[in-house]
Amino acid sequence: MKIRRDIYLNRLISKRHNGLIKVITGIRRCGKSYLLFNLFRDYLANEQIPDDHIIEIAFDSFENKKYRDPELLFPYLMERISEKDMCYVLLDEVQLLDDFESVLNSLVRRKNVDVYVTGSNAKFLSKDIITEFRGRGDEVRMYPLTFAEYMSVYTGDRQHGWRDYVIYGGLPMVFSFETQDQKGVFLKSLFEETYISDIIGRNKIRNKAELEELLNILASAIGSLTNPSKLSATFKSIKNKTISKTTIKRYIDYLCDSFLIDNAIRYDIRGKKYIETPSKYYFTDLGLRNARLNFRQVEETHAMENIVFNELKVRGFNVDVGVVVMNEVDQNGKKVRKQLEIDFVCNKGSKKYYIQSAFALAEQKKMEQEQRPLINTGDGFKKVIITKDALAPLYNEEGVLVMSIYDFLLDPDSLDF
């Protein structure tokens, strides 16, 4: 089954011949190898690049194990690289190559070599690229399947597709399993045997139970405002354990570094400044989040907010949580200061959007509640409410665009309606 990943393929294509090492990063099993060795390789073939000008090595394959030694790999590459014509070097799981930084830096200095690599999040993260390649790395961050990518190969209608996507997420390998039980077993095993093992191994964590408890708490409260101090208090009151906020902050950093979770920081829209704490945390893949909780807490409301956040990140937006501070007079005539929340403030270049994720807008009161912070931002940037079952995208009397989750996710230009 071929799944098109045009978002990332186009990003790779746009970076051809830029003199940098193109590094595909992302959570394990999100499709990095498939993007490099199938989709990008096919693109090069369609561009009439000769086969002998494309060098592919997967370092996790047994037949290529000897090439993990740079003293063997480098002469092999030099033999195959043309003296004049452009050659494309595609390397998968490059962290398995000893001293890979030196090898890649040597390759990229050659004017007729274009280098593309993938790396496991166990040993090869965004910050590693910045550190090791000293300005020569160009990262392409990859995510699990978006809902649009998922539906491109799903055999049912979008309502059933949405149901399965909310429960089992967007890791491409989920399509390899037919039954719900098989999907659940796969995701739980993957979480335990791969992701947690990666994080513990990379960061030399001694207390695995603490990390797993933190994961459970974060998974139970996706989209809720929290910080290390609150989480430390939760451990104390509910788990009867004492874990310092410093340790929790370090664990959260590990989880973000592994691409398992992501965070959104609060931003004071009128004051034009960041509020460092508390923040919101979202899972990069909902199937993994649900597996972590044994599929016991699949709340569509919170799941939809998480999916909207991930979609905005895939589209290349910087995403924050918006805060609108208002001074009002209460029923007793006292002045009160209120903080209204906008789920997402999204920026990309000159574009800016304010977005609310509201699962249902059954009553006018709920609509007024959702759009109140939007119409009090004090600026003219586009305001959007995404709900589950809007009939069609439309602007209401307050100038707020209301659209369904399906219209938002299935149309890459939906925010420009």
Same domain for 368 and 347, yes or no, is yes
Query: Would you state the pLDDT for residue 130?
Result: 58
Same domain for 119 and 193, yes or no, is no
Range of the domain at 93: 6-142
Residue 298 counted as domain residue: no
Residue 301 counted as domain residue: no
Same domain for 137 and 86, yes or no, is yes
Query: Would you state the pLDDT for residue 122?
Result: 57
Same domain for 117 and 209, yes or no, is no
Residue 61 counted as domain residue: yes
Torsion angle (degrees, nearest 10) of CA 167, 171, 172, 175: -30
Q: How many domains does the chain have?
A: 3
Same domain for 285 and 155, yes or no, is yes
Residue 372 counted as domain residue: yes
Residue 310 counted as domain residue: no
Other C-beta atoms closer than 10 Å to the C-beta of 377 total 17
The residue from 142, 177, 195 where one domain ends is 142
* Strands across the sheet containing 87-92: 54-58, 87-92, 113-118, 21-26, 137-142
Per-residue pLDDT of the chain (417 residues), as tens digits, is 889 999 999 999 999 999 999 999 999 899 999 999 999 999 999 999 999 999 999 999 999 999 999 999 999 999 999 888 999 999 999 989 998 889 999 999 999 999 999 987 656 655 666 567 767 889 999 999 999 999 999 999 999 999 999 999 999 999 999 999 999 999 999 998 888 998 998 889 999 999 999 999 999 999 999 999 999 998 888 778 889 999 999 999 999 988 999 999 999 999 999 998 899 999 999 999 999 999 998 999 999 999 999 999 999 999 999 999 988 777 777 888 889 999 999 999 999 999 999 999 888 889 999 999 999 999 999 999 999 988 899 999 999 999 999 999 999 999 999
Same domain for 130 and 178, yes or no, is no
Residue 305 counted as domain residue: no
Same domain for 137 and 151, yes or no, is no
In angstroms, the CA 217 to CA 261 distance is: 13
Same domain for 120 and 192, yes or no, is no
pTM comes to 0.94
Same domain for 175 and 56, yes or no, is no
Residue 304 counted as domain residue: no
CATH value at residue 127: 3.40.50.300
The residue from 142, 168, 190 where one domain ends is 142
Same domain for 152 and 288, yes or no, is yes
Residue 192 counted as domain residue: yes
Same domain for 49 and 103, yes or no, is yes
Query: Would you state the pLDDT for residue 236?
Result: 87
Same domain for 113 and 162, yes or no, is no
